[in-house]
Structure 1
Amino acid sequence: MDEVEVVVAHSERATLRVGDVFLKVDADQARVDVEVEMMALAPVPTPKVLWRRPPVLALAALPGTTLGRLGGPSTGSPAGWAAAGAAIRTLHEAPLPPRTGRAGRSIAALTTELDDECESLVTNSVLPADLVTRNRQVAEAALRPWAPAFTHGDLQIAHLFVDGDEVTGIIDWSEAGQGDALYDLATFTLGHEEHLDDVMAGYGSGIDLDVIHAWWSLRSLLAVRWLIEHGFDPFAPGCEIDVLRSRT
């Protein structure tokens, strides 16, 4: 029997790998419904659905490797990063899906969530007030009107696989839907600013760097408390706290 590898696990969901099969356990069946639907609509490579028996979704493993991970060294050639940018552009230019995704939250809702989170971070002494204030100012540039695109909504670097300079697949689509394209690009390059130019070379025009920087700050501010509460460490080198410090 193959060894069982715990890919990620927290109170909301868990992903296990057994040989060439990923088993996703999620008590929220609506979230799994979205994932299956969005993978079917996305014009980029996605994992093959092997079977589904709630609360488990079985997916075939993708060939290749990721380009790195948040808090770890980046890998892959500049051409590999550019290929990722081109694949993201293909997704963003696809016909719009029928639902709004995580990257499509309204400006009003996002502003309220951000202000509440900043207040909590300072009040509970999670982060210094000056660090929070500066990044809240930077984040303001992301709170603007945007044209809807087909977005992944959680396009972390660990969710895109390449083999050489070819994208072999993108995983974890439960947050996908209509949203701000620059949210995806910022999420993908979070903590790996040195490869932003490579991604831009593959993606093409239409990238506002101020908005990318704003999303780095905004996403990190919103993530810190959730990560701590779910057993992750945003204070690890290269992770969210270092991203926030880099903006100051």
Structure 2
Amino acid sequence: MGGVQKVEVVVAHDERVTLRLGDMFLKIDSDPTRIEVEAEAMAMAPIPTPRVLWRRPSVLALAALPGTALGRLGEPSTASAAAWAAAGAAVRTLHDSPPPPRTGRTADEFAADLDRECERLVADGILPHDLVTRNREVAGAALRPWKPVFIHGDLQITHVFVESDEVTGVIDWSEASRGDAMFDLAILTLGHEERLGDLLAGYGTDVDLDVIRGWWSLRSLTAIRWLAEHGFDPTAPGCEVDVLRSRM
């Protein structure tokens, strides 16, 4: 029928569904707490975020952002060095701002999750022992005390939108909390190690590269089983398994 907009399924699994209808996104979450966290974090964030159109329990309606995502995991980023630097500057602004009340996971909680996943990955034959062991060693660098700052908490490359080398907005704030600044930098450059220098040109140089590498390994090790169980392919070129192999 003429004039009828199509509903596009952006992401769908048994925890969350994101739909697009024209210039509006609908986020439906099985945990209404995440919707509340996302709305509150966007209201506090000192960087561009989507405009909230309306909110209901378990549902959040957002206006579409201009521009395009910085890139996609598994594909080379075509964004310019200046766009990456702009993203780094935006992340620095976020990290330097007053943090939200929500406390993120501690190093001990990450360590427990990491040990559990490493054991399962080897026991279930998902990954070879030497690959898991080497990356567990690398991941140890991330498990140290940190000064809690305002972090996005899930700053994937697809969550940062840019246009004309400027950041037009950052989406998906449901994991926002007080946490480790290096975690955000690592998630944004996961699978795009070659763009870390561009990102830091805008963020600043007071970072620990070993910690960032540690978060790359930790994130990949702890995400692989969940991704496979929810219809994603962590073995695709440039994705999580390749990130682990790059540390060998």
Cross-structure match for 1:126:
126
Task: Tell me the SS of whatever aligns to 1:76.
Answer: coil
Give the drift of 1:53: 2.7
Q: Quick check: 1:76–1:164 contact (8 Å CA) kept in 2?
A: no
Q: 2:69 aligned with 1:66, yes or no?
A: yes
Whichever residue aligns with residue 116 of structure 2, its letter is D
Give the drift of 1:220: 0.2
Cross-structure match for 2:246:
246
Matching residue within 81, 84, 88 for 1:81:
84
Cross-structure match for 1:191:
191
For 1:54 and 1:30, locate their aligned partners in 2 and report how far apart those are by CA, in whole Å.
Answer: 9
Q: CA RMSD in A?
A: 0.8
Q: Within 5 Å, give how 1:201-212 maps onto structure 2.
A: 201-212=201-212
For 2:58 and 2:189, locate their aligned partners in 1 and report how far apart those are by CA, in whole Å.
Answer: 32
Task: Tell me the SS of whatever aligns to 2:36.
Answer: helix
Write the deviation string for residues 185-223 of structure 1: whole angstroms up to 9, x where unpaired: 000000011110000000013211001111000000000
Whichever residue aligns with residue 165 of structure 2, its letter is D
Matching residue within 2, 5, 8 for 2:8:
5
Write the deviation string for residues 158-182 of structure 1: whole angstroms up to 9, x where unpaired: 0000011110000000100100000
Give the drift of 1:55: 2.9
Whichever residue aligns with residue 112 of structure 2, its letter is T
Q: 2:135 aligned with 1:135, yes or no?
A: yes
Cross-structure match for 1:50:
53
Whichever residue aligns with residue 208 of structure 2, its letter is D
Whichever residue aligns with residue 39 of structure 2, its letter is V
Cross-structure match for 2:28:
25
Give the drift of 1:157: 0.2
For 1:11 and 1:110, locate their aligned partners in 2 and report how far apart those are by CA, in whole Å.
Answer: 23
Whichever residue aligns with residue 223 of structure 1, its letter is A
Cross-structure match for 2:99:
96
Cross-structure match for 2:164:
164
* Structure 1: gaps spanning 5 or more residues: none
Cross-structure match for 1:218:
218
- Over the matched positions of the two proteins, sequence identity in percent amounts to 70
For 1:243 and 1:160, locate their aligned partners in 2 and report how far apart those are by CA, in whole Å.
Answer: 20
Q: Normalized against structure 2, the TM-score is what?
A: 0.97
Task: Tell me the SS of whatever aligns to 1:5.
Answer: strand
Whichever residue aligns with residue 161 of structure 1, its letter is F
Give the drift of 1:112: 1.1
Write the deviation string for residues 47-101 of structure 1: whole angstroms up to 9, x where unpaired: 0000123332110000000111001121211000000000000000001111113
Whichever residue aligns with residue 245 of structure 1, its letter is R
Give the drift of 1:6: 1.0
Whichever residue aligns with residue 192 of structure 2, its letter is H
